[in-house]
Amino acid sequence: MASTGYGYLGLPQISEVTLSHAGLKYTYSPGNGFRRFGHTFDSEAVTHYQRYHSVLVYKNATRRPRNWWRAQCAFRGVAEDGDDETLWKLKGAAPNVMAPELVRLQAEAKVMWDAEREAEARRRKEWEQKEKDRKVKEKDRKVAEKVAVLKADLDSIGASPEAVVYKKGWGGKDGGMLEAAESMGLFHKVIEWINWEGDREWIIVGTGVIAMEDKLEALEKEKQDRRDAEEKARDEEEQAEEMERKEEHERDMKRHAATAKASAKNGKWDVTSTWRIFQDENQDKRGGSSLFRLSRIPETMSLIIYRAADKGSTQLYGEFDFGDIAGWMRFEAQDKATYIAQTGQKRKHLGEDDDGRLAYGARGNYNKPSQGDFSLSATDLPSPKNPSMRYRWRGREVGEEGVIQSTADQQQFWVSFSGQGGAKISGTFASSYFTGSFNGFKVAMGGLSSPGDIETHWRDLDEAAYEREWTGRWG
């Protein structure tokens, strides 16, 4: 009897043959040999217990699994039943060669194996021929279908030389069109076509070469016309967007003019409310490490400045969105944000390195702020005499993960207000996404309340919050 599995074509494939002798089953395959209980005959087995009295030899022999000893007994014609000790002693009477009847059974198993393999080869050959015949029949059917399609299409054109284009359903698994054209004596040409419909490859079938070339020329013109139409539509869309931007800018400028006038009321500056922010055009918008490039560069950025008064002191802070970075700015009192210049060195703006370029990630040479550094007096607020202020920021990436920029507040940066009512702004900013200077103008007045406590927002973006989120994200 043969045991079978299934090959890569799904056909039965013989794995081994099974034979019986004296009520015991044996298996055979060329790779595994003649086996009982999965074990082959071992001619090196210790078979005479009386000759080996040492404890070591006895222990080494008994480490063999029970079925191994049973198989060795069966191969030598000794009964394999009984407990372990009985099996160990019974083997002493066994010869150290395979029983003659089992030698014959092994030879018979080899013959059976060869016969099964030959039968398997015949079955495989028959199956392959059937598959070949089936594919030929299927191809003939498809060709016949395509011949009918070609005849109908060409008959509808008339007797003059003409060509037909098939955009899909002619090649690949559908097939048959090339063979159909050849069987009808027609000309054909396959073209690769980056098109808006159908397959990547089209086929032109015609009654003459000139007709095919004319059809190809018509297709090229059609493609170019479509590209021209799409380009025109894009240009019109861009023009409409540009017009919308100009109109929005004009509206912003009108809002700014009214806002600037209102901000200068009573000779004092009111810098709170909404600002339209822009990056300076003469700088690299993709500053920072090459590992952190901007995924989106906004044409405009936003800043909303709030003012909160409590127990005789004032805080000025802003909520910003600079494209890939969003967060909070906190403005500091001038006398508590003093930069310490080194003796003999040129005084630098905070957030700049030795050659005047804005730096990110390095600790500036300044006094680290205490908890009261954000408490402002009336003289600290922006005014014509005091137009510039220092600030620190905390924030996070804008996106799916929103990683906190945990060391952002280790640097100071500056902003300067100018124009009527202090309604224009310029300043510096540095992050792994945007490093440089910005400017903007105010477009609204008051009426905005701070969305929650600034201390809570600030704490939610500190290093402890970063560590918690990092642990939650990566474990």
Do 288 and 255 sit in the same domain of this protein? Answer: no
- Judge whether 291 lies within some domain: yes
Q: Compute φ and ψ for 367, nearest 5 degrees.
A: -75, 125
**Per-residue pLDDT, 146:** 86
- Residue where a domain stops, chosen among 242, 263, 284: 263
Quick one: tokens of 457? Answer: 């927002």
**Per-residue pLDDT, 159:** 59
| Helix spans in 158-194 (H) | 177-183
Q: Which residue shows structure tokens 């490859």?
A: 201
- Judge whether 136 lies within some domain: no
Do 381 and 423 sit in the same domain of this protein? Answer: yes
Do 91 and 183 sit in the same domain of this protein? Answer: no
How many domains does the chain contain in total? 3
Asked whether the beta carbons of 453 and 469 are under 8 A apart, the reply is no
Do 289 and 259 sit in the same domain of this protein? Answer: no
Provide the β-strand partners of residue 392. 330
Do 304 and 344 sit in the same domain of this protein? Answer: yes
Determine the Cα–Cα distance for residues 157 and 166; give it in Å rounded to an integer. 15
Do 239 and 275 sit in the same domain of this protein? Answer: no
- Judge whether 139 lies within some domain: no
Show Cβ contacts of residue 444 under 8 Å, excluding neighbours closer than 6 positions: 255, 259, 273, 274
- Proportion of the chain in helix, strand, coil states, percent, rounded to 5: 40, 25, 35
**Per-residue pLDDT, 94:** 62
**Per-residue pLDDT, 220:** 87
* 3-state class (DSSP) for residue 380: helix
Determine the Cα–Cα distance for residues 231 and 213; give it in Å rounded to an integer. 27
- Judge whether 134 lies within some domain: no
Q: Which residue shows structure tokens 């003659």?
A: 100
- Residue where a domain stops, chosen among 243, 263, 283: 263
Show Cβ contacts of residue 425 under 8 Å, excluding neighbours closer than 6 positions: 271, 275, 277, 303, 415, 416, 417, 418, 439, 440, 441, 442
pLDDT along the chain (475 residues), means of 10: 51 79 92 91 63 44 76 83 57 73 93 90 92 90 88 77 80 77 88 71 87 88 89 94 89 89 84 88 46 41 88 87 91 62 35 40 39 78 92 90 87 93 93 85 77 86 90 75
Please give the residue range of the domain that contains residue 279.
269-474
Do 338 and 399 sit in the same domain of this protein? Answer: yes
- Judge whether 150 lies within some domain: no
- Judge whether 18 lies within some domain: yes
Quick one: tokens of 441? Answer: 């103008």
- Judge whether 388 lies within some domain: yes
- Residue where a domain stops, chosen among 245, 263, 281: 263
Do 311 and 412 sit in the same domain of this protein? Answer: yes
Do 207 and 306 sit in the same domain of this protein? Answer: no
- Judge whether 143 lies within some domain: no
Q: Which of 418, 336, 349 is nearest to 382 (CA)?
A: 418
Do 221 and 95 sit in the same domain of this protein? Answer: no
Quick one: tokens of 278? Answer: 């822009």
Do 288 and 404 sit in the same domain of this protein? Answer: yes
Do 103 and 218 sit in the same domain of this protein? Answer: no
**Per-residue pLDDT, 161:** 64
Show Cβ contacts of residue 280 under 8 Å, excluding neighbours closer than 6 positions: 436, 437, 438, 439
